[in-house]
Amino acid sequence: MMAPVNITSIKTSSSGAWQGDDPLNYAFPLLIVQTTLILVVTRILAFLFKPLRQPKVIAEIVGGILLGPSALGRNKTYMNKLFPTWSTPILESVASIGLLFFLFLVGLELDLNSIRRSGHRAFSIAAAGISLPFVCGIGVAFVLRKTIDGADKVGYGQFLVFMGVALSITAFPVLARILAELKLLTTPVGETAMAAAAFNDVAAWILLALAVALAGNADGSGGHKSPVVSVWVLLSGLAFVIFMMMVIRPAMKLVAQRCSREHDTVDEAYICLTLAGVMVSGFMTDLIGIHSIFGAFVFGLTIPKGGDFAERLIERIEDFVSGLLLPLYFASSGLKTDVAKIRGGKAWGLLVLVISTACAGKILGTLVAALMCMVPVREAVTLGVLMNTKGLVELIVLNIGKEKKVLNDEIFAILVLMALFTTFITTPMVMAIYKPARGIAMKTHRKLGDLTTNSASNDKKDELRILACVHGPGNVPSIISLIESTRSTKNSFVKLFIMHLVEFTERSSSIILVQRVRKNGFPFFKRSRNGEWRDRLAGAFQAYSQLGRVSVRPTTAISSLPTMHEDICHVAEEKRVTMIILPFHKHWRVEADDEDNGGAHEVLENLGHGWRGVNQKVLKHAPCSVGVLVDRGFGNGSQTPGPDSTMGQRVCILFFGGPDDREALELGGRMVEHPVVRVTIIRFVEEDELNGKNIVLHPSPNANCDQSYSFSTAKMNRQIEKELDEKAMGEFRGRWGEMVGYVEKASENVVEEALGIGRSGDFDLIVVGKGRFPSSMVANLAERPAEHAELGPIGDVLASSGHGVVTSVLVIQQHDVALTDEAPALRVLHGGYDNARGDNDSTSSAKEISSVDNNDIV
C-alpha cells in the first residue's frame, strides 16, 4: 500500500527526463497526460456511439468508468501512476472551472420568457414529472438506508432530498440535443418536452440548492448543525437571485446593447468583466453555502438572449469549455464510480429497483399529466420517455452529493449507472414509439415543363414556386439575381421559399438557434408582421420582395449534415415547389488587394465535403427539379436585374440534348421574358453519326461515385429523345425568335468549347443540364476524371477550379422518376454505325447504362 502523499509537497513541473525526473510525479505534466487520455478515450467512444444517436455525455461517463477503478483501474500500477490519489483535487479543480462556465452556458440557453409563455400544459406536465419520481425517490431512499451499509450515517433530510432530486430531474441540455438529433425538437411533442424540461430545470436547481443547504456537516466533521443555518443559507440564496435579477440583469442588458452590431468593435473589457462575473457569482454562492455552479447558472440567466453579445460570449468560451474542460468533469465522475462496489445479488437488485422506480415514476407521472391535458396516448408516452433523460445535471447532483458525503461509494455507483441507463434508452425508445406525421403531400408540379404556360382558361401563368437554399449572406445576391431573372414583369408570379441551412452541432449556440424554430418538426415559415424581419438574410429577401410580383417566405433549417436533405426535400414536397436551388459548396468571391491600389484577386471558399454531401443527397431524393448554382460573383453590383435595371444580364444555355437540357431550355424560356435579360442558346450538334461512330456506356460497379460521373440506368428510347429535343428547340425558337441568340457548334472537343465560353466573360451565367441521359459528345467524357461528379460532365468542367472560368454556372437536373437510378459508367466505342444496331435498338436495358446514339446492349 502506498504511503499517503502530502499534496503541499507536490511540485508543478519537472526538470525533465534528462535530469532524472519522472514527469508523472509532477502535477502539470500528469494533468496533461490525464487530459489527453480522457479526451482520446471519450472521442473514440463518442464515435462508436454515434450510430446509436447517443449524446456525447454518455461517451464521457463510460470513458471515465473504463479509465477508473471499474475497469482499467483494477490494475493498481496503472491507477497509482496515471490517476494517483494526490492528483484527484487538481484534476477536479480544473474540471470544475469547465463546469462553472458550462453552467453559465446552460443559463444562456434557458430563456425565462419562453418558459413563461409555455402555458399551463407544460407546467402541469413538468410538475407531475417532478412530483411523482421525487416521492418515489424518497421511498427508494428508505430502502437504501435499510439495506446498504453506512447509508444511515447521513441525516434523513439530506439523504431524502438528494435521492428525490436524483430521480426527478430532467437534463435540459441533453434532451435538447436528443430531440434535435431525432428531428423532434420543433414537433408538438418536442416543443412540449422542451418547455416542461425548462420548468424542470429551474425546479431542479431550486431543489439542488435546498439539498446543498440541508447537507451541512453530513461528513461528520463537526457537531450537528442547527436547522436555522439551513434557513439562512436558503434566504441568502434567494436574496442573491433577487439581486442578480433586479440589479445585474438590467446592467447586462445595457452591456449587450453597447455590444450590438451597431458597434463595429466590442470592447474586450466587457467580455473580460463578464467572464470575471461568472467566477465572482460562483464564489458568492459558494460563500453563501450553495455550490458555486448555482451562481454561474443564475448569472447566465441575466444575459439577454438571442443578441450579438450572447453569441460572441458563446463563440469565445464554448469550444474550449465543452470540448476540453467539461469532458474532464464527467470523466472524473466515471473515475469515482467503482462498479465493483455493487456486490452480490442484493446490490444488483437495488440497482434494478432504482432504475425501474426512476423510469416508472418519471414516465407514469408525465403520462398521466399529459393525458389530462388531452395529449394523445402515443405522444404522452413519448413525452414520458423524453422527460426521463438524465445525463448532465444528474451527474452534477450526484457529484455534489458525494462531495458532501451524503452519498457513499455504492449508492453513487448505483445512481451513475441509473443515469447512464435512462439516458441511453431514450433515443431507441422514442424512435420505436413515435414517428411524427409528415402530412399528406399534395400533387406537385415537379418540373418546369409541367407548369401551364399558355392555358386559355387562365388569365395568368401558373405560380412558379421555388425553394432557394442559402448558407449565409454571401449567397444572397446570386440567389436574388437568379430568381429575378426567371420572373417575367408581365404576368408571372413567383413564390420564393428561402431556407437558411444551419448545421446542428453539439455546441450550445446550435440549441439557441434551434429554439427560434417553432413548428412541425421541419422548418416553419413565418410570415412577416409590419415588415419586421429579425434575420438579416430574411431582411435582404424582404427588400427584394418589394420589387414586384414575388412572395418571399423565409425559414431556417437546423439539422446535422447527414440528414439536412430530409428537411429540404420535405419542404419541397409540402410547399409543392417546382425547383430547388442549391448553392454549390464552393464559392468564389473577389477581394481587393492591400498592396496593389485598385487591384483585386479571387478567393475560393470551400465549405467542405459535408455540404457537398447535402447537395448530392438532395439531387438523389428531390421530389422536383434541382438547380445547383456555382457562384462566381453572379448578381454582385449592377448585374442584378430589376425593374429599373439599366444594364442587361447575359445568360447562355448550353444545349446537348436530353431531359436535363430540355429543363434548362424551359428555364431559359422564362428568362427570355424578362426585359433586361438577354438569352443565347448554344447548341452542340453531334458529328459522331456522320463519322460512323457509336458510343455505348456500360455500368462500372467498381468506380468511385465521387470521382466518376453517373448516368441513368433507365430504359429510354433514344429516337424519341431526339424527337423531343428537336420539338423543344423548335417550339422555343418559334416562340421567341429574334429575342434569343442562337448558335450551333459542331466540335469534337466539347470540353475546350465549354471552357472557352466560360473563360470569355461574355456571359454572366451559363445554364447547362446535368446530362444523366447524355448525347454522344457528353457520353464521350464518361471516363474523364471528375472533380465534382454530381454536376455531370459539362457542369463539372465549368465548375472545376484552375481552368480560368469566370462565369457563374447553373446546373439543372430535371425531376423524372424514370431517371432516378444512376450508376458510374465505362465508355465503349464501336467503329461501325450499323455494327451495334440490332432488333432492340430503340431502348436500353435496365441492366445497362443509358447507351448513347443507339442504346444497344453490348
Q: What is the pLDDT of residue 519?
A: 36
Indicate the average pLDDT of the chain. 78
Residue among 118, 53, 128, 202 nearest 380 (CA): 128
**pLDDT tens figures, 826-840:** 665 554 433 333 333
**pLDDT tens figures, 194-207:** 888 888 877 877 88
User: For the chain, how many structural domains are there in total?
Assistant: 3
Q: What is the pLDDT of residue 360?
A: 93
Q: Annotate 606-619 with DSSP letters as a single string.
A: E--HHHHHHHHHHH
| 103 vs 242, residue with greater confidence | 242
Q: What is the pLDDT of residue 615?
A: 92
Q: Is residue 530 part of a domain?
A: yes
Q: What is the pLDDT of residue 489?
A: 57
* Chain CA centroid to CA 131, Å: 34
* CB 682 within 8 Å of CB 745: yes
* CB 772 within 8 Å of CB 713: no
Report, as an integer, the average pLDDT of 379-397: 86
Name the range with the highest mean pLDDT among 19-23, 112-116, 521-525, 766-770.
766-770
The pLDDT-based confidence of 653 (bands split at 50, 70, 90) is: very high
Report, as an integer, the average pLDDT of 332-339: 83
Q: Mark whether 411 and 458 lie in a shared domain.
A: no
Q: Mark whether 489 and 383 lie in a shared domain.
A: no
Q: What is the pLDDT of residue 405?
A: 83
* CB 653 within 8 Å of CB 665: yes
**pLDDT tens figures, 139-195:** 999 888 888 887 777 777 788 888 888 888 888 778 877 887 777 766 778 778 888
Q: Is residue 246 part of a domain?
A: yes
Task: Please state the φ and ψ torsions of residue 745, each to the nearest 5 degrees.
Answer: -125, 135
Q: What is the pLDDT of residue 654?
A: 92
Taking the alpha carbons at both ends of the chain, their separation in whole angstroms is 79
C-alpha cell at 601: 484577386
Task: Please state the φ and ψ torsions of residue 574, each to the nearest 5 degrees.
Answer: -65, -40
User: pTM here?
Assistant: 0.73
Question: Does residue 9 surpass a pLDDT of 60?
Answer: yes
Residue with cell 453506512: 150
- 368 phi-psi bin (left φ>0, alpha ψ -120 to 50, beta other): alpha
Q: Mark whether 402 and 481 lie in a shared domain.
A: no
Q: Is residue 851 part of a domain?
A: no
Q: Mark whether 677 and 775 lie in a shared domain.
A: yes
Q: What is the pLDDT of residue 54?
A: 85
Question: Does residue 576 surpass a pLDDT of 70?
Answer: yes
Query: Among the three residues 409, 433, 457, which one is the final residue of a domain in this structure?
Result: 433
Q: What is the pLDDT of residue 826?
A: 63
Percent of the chain topping pLDDT 70: 77
* CB 837 within 8 Å of CB 675: no
* Distances, alpha carbon 573 to alpha carbons 324, 425, 697, in Å: 42, 33, 33
Q: Is residue 8 part of a domain?
A: no
Identify the domain containing residue 808 by its residue range: 648-687+695-830
For the ranges 469-478, 601-610, 684-693, the lowest mean pLDDT is seen at 684-693
Question: Does residue 703 surpass a pLDDT of 70?
Answer: no
Q: Mark whether 142 and 265 lie in a shared domain.
A: yes
Q: What is the pLDDT of residue 590?
A: 56
Residue among 208, 167, 159, 207 nearest 407 (CA): 159
Residue among 438, 317, 322, 428 nearest 382 (CA): 428
Q: Mark whether 176 and 301 lie in a shared domain.
A: yes
Find the CATH number of the domain harbouring 140.
1.20.1530.20
Q: What is the pLDDT of residue 840?
A: 39
* CB 792 within 8 Å of CB 657: no
Strands of 450-585, DSSP E: 464-470, 494-503, 550-559, 579-583
Q: Is residue 303 part of a domain?
A: yes
Report, as an integer, the average pLDDT of 440-446: 51
Q: What is the pLDDT of residue 819?
A: 65
Q: What is the pLDDT of residue 767?
A: 93
**pLDDT tens figures, 519-571:** 334 444 444 333 333 455 555 666 666 656 677 887 777 778 888 888 898 88
Q: Mark whether 407 and 469 lie in a shared domain.
A: no
Residue with cell 432504475: 355
Q: Is residue 673 part of a domain?
A: yes
**pLDDT tens figures, 710-755:** 777 777 777 888 888 888 898 888 888 888 888 888 877 888 888 8
Q: What is the pLDDT of residue 548?
A: 60
Q: What is the pLDDT of residue 261?
A: 61
Q: Is residue 12 part of a domain?
A: no
Q: Mark whether 410 and 475 lie in a shared domain.
A: no
State the Cα–Cα distance between residues 644 and 340, nearest whole angstrom: 79
Q: What is the pLDDT of residue 833?
A: 38
- By CB atoms closer than 10 A (0-12, 13-18, 19+), residue 510 is buried
Q: Is residue 339 part of a domain?
A: no
Question: Does residue 279 surpass a pLDDT of 90?
Answer: yes
Report, as an integer, the average pLDDT of 794-820: 84
Q: Mark whether 508 and 391 lie in a shared domain.
A: no
Report, as an integer, the average pLDDT of 376-404: 86
Q: What is the pLDDT of residue 533?
A: 37
Q: What is the pLDDT of residue 368?
A: 92
Residue with cell 441575466: 302
Q: Name 33's Cβ contacts closer than 8 Å, sequence gap at least 6.
A: 23, 24, 82
Q: How many CA atoms lie within 13 A of 712 on its CB side?
A: 28
Q: What is the pLDDT of residue 70?
A: 86
Q: Name 807's Cβ contacts closer than 8 Å, sequence gap at least 6.
A: 632, 652, 757, 758, 760, 761, 763, 764, 765, 766, 798
Q: What is the pLDDT of residue 365?
A: 92
The pLDDT-based confidence of 518 (bands split at 50, 70, 90) is: very low
- Nearest 5°: the CA angle 543, 549, 550 is 50
Name the range with the highest mean pLDDT among 60-74, 105-119, 442-456.
60-74
* CB 366 within 8 Å of CB 394: no
Report, as an integer, the average pLDDT of 402-428: 88
Q: Mark whether 390 and 360 lie in a shared domain.
A: yes
Q: Mark whether 451 and 394 lie in a shared domain.
A: no
Q: Mark whether 454 and 428 lie in a shared domain.
A: no
Query: Among the three residues 433, 456, 487, which one is the final residue of a domain in this structure?
Result: 433
Question: Does residue 688 surpass a pLDDT of 60?
Answer: no
C-alpha cell at 14: 519537472
Q: What is the pLDDT of residue 695?
A: 65
The pLDDT-based confidence of 484 (bands split at 50, 70, 90) is: confident
The pLDDT-based confidence of 266 (bands split at 50, 70, 90) is: low
* Distances, alpha carbon 801 to alpha carbons 630, 725, 771, in Å: 11, 31, 20
| 608 vs 621, residue with greater confidence | 621
Question: Does residue 637 surpass a pLDDT of 80?
Answer: no
